[in-house]
Amino acid sequence: MQTKLRPYLDTNCDENDILMKEAGDIIKEGGLVAFPTETVYGLGANALDTDAAKKIYEAKGRPSDNPLIAHIADKEQVYVLAKNVSEEAEKLMEKFWPGPLTLIFEKQDIVPSGVTGGLNTVAIRMPDNQIALKLIRSAGVPIAAPSANSSGRPSPTLAGHVMEDMDGRIDMVIDGGQVDIGIESTIVDMSGEKPMILRPGFITKPMLEEVVGEVLVDKITVIKDKSQLEADYRPKAPGMKYRHYAPKAEFIMFEGDISKVVEHINELSKLNMEKGLKTGVIATDETISKYENAMVVSIGSRTIRETVAKNLYKVLRDFDSMEVDIIYGETFYDDELGAAIMNRLIKAAGYRIEEV
């Protein structure tokens, strides 16, 4: 299959309208279109068509028990797909949609179980991106879209990342430039007694609690060490159990006083160099000039977590193309966006964090 890579132009023009019609038709006919959202690029198909959803799983190499998020362009579409939408959920929709928040509800029969990984719940979000909203309206159906990476790889934040993983496997990629946020939406389960965060993201726990009071957190989102999970523990979001976002090289993070972290990484990089191994370091604007004997890339300023989130997946992919043998990095814990950043980095590192 030839994958069409099409730019969405910055100005309002006929070309964009023609493109959105063509892309919407592909979705209607059961094909796959990758498109930008405000979080990461999504790989879209008709959310009401089991066969189209199957193509998503094939293109990504995704396990079929891992459900997809249905993307909508109007809040009212929620009631077509979901049952028992609570008042709390409506408050969250009012405050954060369109935006990087996915809500989980009991599903209506119209949603095929091939889209929900066999669950009787459905994940829904209204993205805050004009191209995404136009595509959903042009297709005339909700669009099921996981991140547009091959399963296990870092999520795409540029159309070029999507092409790296999906060229030849899908019908079209719409290039809308670099995404704004850079990490996937916050997922909140609204189908239980109390709202529960299943995946942290740009919309943080304090932001949610301001609207609906106490919000619980699934423990998979905060563990630092795989041994903290019982063997039979099942995260509520099935996707959270898989190794994810992984760069090709081994990746280890170091935690502790930042000057000690720098010193320790420098010692290891020197040893690697002596062994003929190429080291990559994920530094910050504050530390980049302090690292030696390694390929050093800044992920942004430690004081601006938004920039770190935006650059995170790009930096991991950039190290793949630099063909380093091992990657070292710093940590970014806090109670807000840092939690979402560390959730991704810990998984990218396969839970390897060492204290210095």
Question: Residue 213: which region, alpha, beta or left (left: phi > 0; alpha: psi -120 to 50)?
Answer: left
Contacts of Mg ion in 119-148 (CB under 5 A): 147
Please report whether residue 40 would count as binding ligand TXA according to CB under 6 A: yes
* Tally of CB atoms within 10 A around 90: 14
The binder of 42, among ligand TXA, Mg ion, none, by C-beta within 5 to 8 A per type, is: ligand TXA
For the bound state, the minimum distance from the C-beta of residue 228 to ligand TXA, rounded and expressed in Å, comes to 19
Please report whether residue 47 would count as binding ligand TXA according to CB under 6 A: no
Report how far Cα 235 is from the mean position of its chain's Cα atoms: 17
Quick one: which of 27, 53, 68, 220 contacts ligand TXA (CB under 6 A)? 68
For ligand TXA, which is the closer residue by CB, 247 or 280? Answer: 247
Please report whether residue 66 would count as binding ligand TXA according to CB under 6 A: yes
As given in the structure block, the two tokens for residue 163 are 């092409």
Please report whether residue 102 would count as binding Mg ion according to CB under 5 A: no
For the bound state, the minimum distance from the C-beta of residue 231 to ligand TXA, rounded and expressed in Å, comes to 20
**What b-and-e string marks burial along 279-295, b requiring 16 or more CB atoms within 10 Å of the CB?**
bbbbbbeebeebbebbb
Q: How far apart are CA 45 and CA 51, in angstroms?
A: 9
Please report whether residue 185 would count as binding ligand TXA according to CB under 6 A: yes
Where does this chain touch ligand TXA (CB under 6 A) — which range of 116-124, 206-214, 253-261, 302-310? 116-124
Quick one: which of 73, 81, 103, 119 contacts ligand TXA (CB under 6 A)? 119
Question: Which residue of the chain is nearest ligand TXA when measured via CB?
Answer: 239
Contacts of ligand TXA in 211-250 (CB under 6 A): 236-240
> For residues 197 and 208, is the Cβ–Cβ distance under 8 A?
yes
> For residues 267 and 280, is the Cβ–Cβ distance under 8 A?
no
Please report whether residue 67 would count as binding ligand TXA according to CB under 6 A: yes
Please report whether residue 151 would count as binding ligand TXA according to CB under 6 A: no
Alpha-carbon dihedral of residues 284, 286, 289, 290, nearest 10 degrees?
A: -90
Contacts of ligand TXA in 295-334 (CB under 6 A): none
For Mg ion, which is the closer residue by CB, 60 or 134? Answer: 60
The footprint of ligand TXA on this chain (CB under 6 A) covers a number of residues equal to 30
> For residues 323 and 278, is the Cβ–Cβ distance under 8 A?
yes
Residue ranges in contact with ligand TXA by CB under 6 A: 37, 39-40, 42, 66-69, 100, 102, 104, 116, 119, 121-123, 127, 145-147, 184-185, 187, 198-199, 236-240
Residue ranges in contact with Mg ion by CB under 5 A: 147
